[in-house]
Amino acid sequence: MFDPSKELQERATAYATARDIELKQVLGGGKDGSVYATNFGTAVKAFRQPDTFNRELACYMRLEEMEVRNVLGHNIPRLHAVDVSRHVIEMSIVQPPFLLDFASAYLDYPPDFSD
């Protein structure tokens, strides 16, 4: 089972405390961060790196702006709130099939691959 780092747990908990919500359980995680369910039926994702946080946030903002809720039948979470200083995003929880991970996506510019 996934074991989130102490730092990610602390940032997610600080975010939850500031928003007066409670983290209920770990939903999952990986190379980009950890995701926690809340008592309000949302998910809180704490990111390891600012660059992946920024890329994922940019994707969620673009999807919200364009009112995209699913892609080819795959549900996309809605952005609820953001804490830039803690690199945390709060989003809705969606039912499968879904698209969740946009931290490796690039908008409006190509990735910086080495030669």
Delimit the domains of the chain by residue range: 6-92
Torsion (CA) 28, 29, 34, 37 in degrees, nearest 10: -20
Residue type for 35, please? V
Q: 6-92: CATH homologous superfamily? A: Phosphorylase Kinase; domain 1 (3.30.200.20)
pTM, whole model, 2 decimals? 0.85
* Predicted pLDDT of residue 96: 83
Q: What are phi and psi of 100, to 5 degrees?
A: -125, -35
Tokens of 31: 């190379």
Query: What are the pLDDT tens digits along the chain (115 aa)?
Result: 456 689 999 999 999 999 999 999 999 888 899 999 999 999 999 999 999 999 889 888 988 998 989 888 888 999 999 999 999 999 999 888 766 676 666 667 677 777 7
CA gap 54, 49 in Å, rounded = 9
* Predicted pLDDT of residue 45: 95
